[in-house]
Amino acid sequence: MSISHPGSSLPALVRDGRRFWATPQGQALHHAERACLGPVCEGVFGVHSLELGMGDPLADMCPVRHPMRWSPTRELAQGPSTLVCTPDALPLPDGCLSLVIVHHLLEVVPDPHHLLQEAARVTRDDGRLILFGWMPLSAGALPRVWPARRRRLPWCGHWRTPGRLRDWLAFVDFRIERVDYCGFHLPGGMPRNAALETLGRRYNLPLGDSYMIQASRRSQLAQTQGGRLQFGRPFGGSALGATRVGQPRLSPPQERMTEVD
């Protein structure tokens, strides 16, 4: 599971990530994060959602009709509803998704700012943007003391605090509604201690291996322009020449999504 640099090729990064999330440590943390996400998913309804990550799906319990996954290549796609692209250039219209999850990618992708901008762009005004990240001050961060570990997943990359991501989200007109912590364990152990997990989540202690940020778009105040609104009579046409302008609609999955047999 070694990786030379956080900016390595995305296919190699995803393969290494899948190997980590298949380990007992990865599975234990995945279970803790899924339990943390569950109550959020119960209140999310809509047609489309997107999960950007390297592990198993987290939001498969959400009542969204068309959940999508992401893959950097067609060969790595794990299902028919898979968006094959680079994560910083999503081939989707603005505001088309009710739920977007970015799962431990901001630490390792070459351009995390553009990834966050794209995730915010495709999130509906009333949608939810969920960010999972590694907590720099946790028992799971101790191996990063050794330089050799910093070249391996999950310890490689740039780990950022929720406070740092608050500034990033403000830049894309999103605000943090809540931060939850999960993956509690003693140094040298794995996050599968039910008592520690219950205690840590009850008091929401910032000591877990990872955090989950719930973010939503800032409310936009309607801007009015001065002056009189005039309607001209088009030559040879109707008395009111108006053009309807709306948000682009998401095309059916078979047109926008890459189908994988």
pLDDT tens digits for range 96-141: 999 999 999 999 999 999 999 999 999 999 999 999 999 998 888 8
189: enclosing H helix or E strand: none
> Which pLDDT band holds residue 142 (cuts at 50, 70, 90)?
confident
pLDDT tens digits for range 162-177: 999 999 999 999 999 9
Q: Is the pLDDT of residue 65 over 60?
A: yes
Strand-pairing partners, residue 178, are: 214
Higher per-residue confidence, 7 vs 215: 215
Phi and psi torsions of 98, nearest 5°? -80, -25
What gap in Å lies between CA 106 and CA 83, rounded to an integer? Answer: 18
Three state DSSP letters for 112-161: HHHHHHHHHHCEEEEEEEEEEEECCCCHHHHHHHCCCHHHECCCCCCCCC
Task: Give residue 3's pLDDT.
Answer: 40
CB 123 within 8 A of CB 100: yes
Task: Give residue 8's pLDDT.
Answer: 54
- Which pair of tokens denotes residue 47? 């047609």
